[in-house]
Amino acid sequence: MPSSPVNPDQIQEQMQALQAAYAEKIGKRVLEIKQSWEQLVQDEWSPENLRTLHRRVHSLAGSGATFGFAYLSTIARTLEILLTSILETGNPPIALQRIQVQALLSSLNQAIQEPEQALPELSALVALHSSPTKSNSSHLIYLVEDEPELARDLALQIGYFGYEVVCFDNSSDLKQAVLQQSPAVILTDIIFSEGYSAGLEMITALGRQLGSNMPPVVFMSVREDLTARLQAVRAGGKAYFTKPVHVPSLLDKLDELTRARPQEAYRVLIVDDESHLAVYYSLILQRMGMVTQVVTDPFDLIAVMAEFNPDLILMDVYMPHCSGLELGAVIRQEPAYVGIPIVFLSTETDLSKQLNVINLGGGDEFLTKPIQPDHLIMAVYARAQRARTLRSLMATDSLTGLLNHTTSKEQLLQELLRAERTQSSLAFAMLDLDHFKGVNDTYGHAVGDRVIKSLSRLLQQRLRRTDTVGRYGGEEFVVILPNTDGDAAYKIMDNIRQRFAQVRQQAEDKKLFATFSCGIAVYPEFPDMDSLMVAADKALYRAKHQGRNQVVLAGKP
């Protein structure tokens, strides 16, 4: 199971326990290395046995310093280099090499003692922005406008998209309201009966009173002069709209200011047969807000990847039965995993060999053991961030930011597998804008694009964070609703349909209202992806055939 971020103090305690467990077993590991060497030179010489010994020494070299045994790690690294030179000849060791190995083994015995240094305090590490970002979940908007009809209309249009709008017609009432409950955004005019710049003066005074607790402010006005715009900036305004206000643009700004969703934690898959070391890396990354999964048997990797869906793979080079290079090459043969960064770990310090490992194993970076925690964090964070950005660009529709056709189907398959595993219901909806060709032909494609963006925004704002919205193509959308039965899905989508039909679209000076039709199918009534999609599509066709602007649930009359 993947490990989620936990309390920093708990992580520090777990790391100290890891160090103690490592210290208990280190004597046994050194003894096993010594016995392997003795058997090798006496009567069991073979390149395969030597490679096994080499891997054991490599593991000790990479993990010793990590858990405080720096001197032990240095000796093991020297022994590893010597064994590598013997391996490269393909012949049994000569007398001098045997003497050198014996001397290093004796030094290993002497180095077995209490840790020479404590593990680093994770609280001292520099925290990167990999943990979920703070977001303002409030939808409360204070609208200050002394023209009642304009205020009601603007509040109505904003309200369709999930905002709670409270209107004020004077500055004194606003000040009292802000002091009692701070809104997500203040949306205010500039010109009031008190003066040509009364709105600016009101916000400036309120800002001085509240200081850092001042909510974001968006100005709107018939004034288009630079003086007004400069004063708005100096008053702390985040945006400035000239009247008549372009509602879609205003909603874009409100979304930006109020609906910044927390970034999902980066997911890191750690592949290392050295379980103590793998867990150690896992704890460090968890401390930075990442979610980790440890794989100690490389033959489990592909199955785990399909379930875990990592942003990055952190993988040791030397593992039994399957090297990191071989495993990296296997991963790169899978088209779905081509873009996932692979960061290799090893004690290898030779640059040419590191580059060769990256090239042969399809890796993106090489980290040399022992790895300082801050180096590990920075390397993983930078690679995971870049990979997620690229994946997002490839997976989303450029106009709406929703999942594209291919990614929507992939997401549906994942949710179906999850629903099957948890024995829960899953609703799948297909939406299609009504008479959309007529919108494009009459008003132009720019207006058509705004209608598409309007629906995409409404879907995102009225659905849960666990739901998935995709642009399936053209004017078609899909919605995936986990843990939702047919009746609940019908109510949700019909509510969105009704709200969308009341949204006034921007079409120059003309009033334009758009509608959509929707078909819904539910798992397990339709037990696989093909039957679910076909059923939803047929239900959508019924909705169109029966007059449009309605929702039809598959299997219901």
Length of the chain: 557
Segment (H or E) for 539: helix 529-545
Strand order in the sheet with 237-242: 164-168, 140-144, 185-189, 217-221, 237-242
How far, in Å, CA of 26 to CA of 481, rounded? Answer: 51
Q: List beta partners, residue 365.
A: 343
Cβ atoms 457, 255 nearer than 8 A? yes
How far, in Å, CA of 308 to CA of 412, rounded? Answer: 16
Query: Which residue in 188, 237, 246, 192 sits closest to 216, CA to CA?
Result: 237
Q: Is 475 a catalytic residue?
A: yes
Helix, strand, coil: what percent of the chain each, to 5?
Answer: 55, 15, 30
**CA of residue 198 relative to chain centroid, distance:** 44
Q: How far is CA 557 from CA 432, 537, 546, 553, in A?
A: 20, 16, 12, 8
Residue 339 burial (10 A CB sphere; 0-12, 13-18, 19+): exposed
How far, in Å, CA of 204 to CA of 210, rounded? Answer: 10
Token pair, residue 21, equals 């467990």
Q: List beta partners, residue 185.
A: 141
Cβ atoms 497, 521 nearer than 8 A? no
Cβ atoms 8, 123 nearer than 8 A? yes
Cβ atoms 429, 377 nearer than 8 A? no
Residue 123's CB is within 10 A of a number of other CB atoms, namely 11
DSSP secondary structure letters along 416-451? HHHHHHHT--EEEEEEEETTHHHHHHHH-HHHHHHH
How far, in Å, CA of 238 to CA of 378, rounded? Answer: 32
Q: From the candidates 475, 476, 508, 525, which is the catalytic residue?
A: 475
Cα radius of gyration rounded to whole Å, the chain: 31
Cis peptide leading into 132, omega within 30 of 0? no
Token pair, residue 208, equals 């001085």
How far, in Å, CA of 104 to CA of 101, rounded? Answer: 5
Strands 164-168, 476-482: pairing kind: unpaired
Catalytic residues, by residue number, are 475
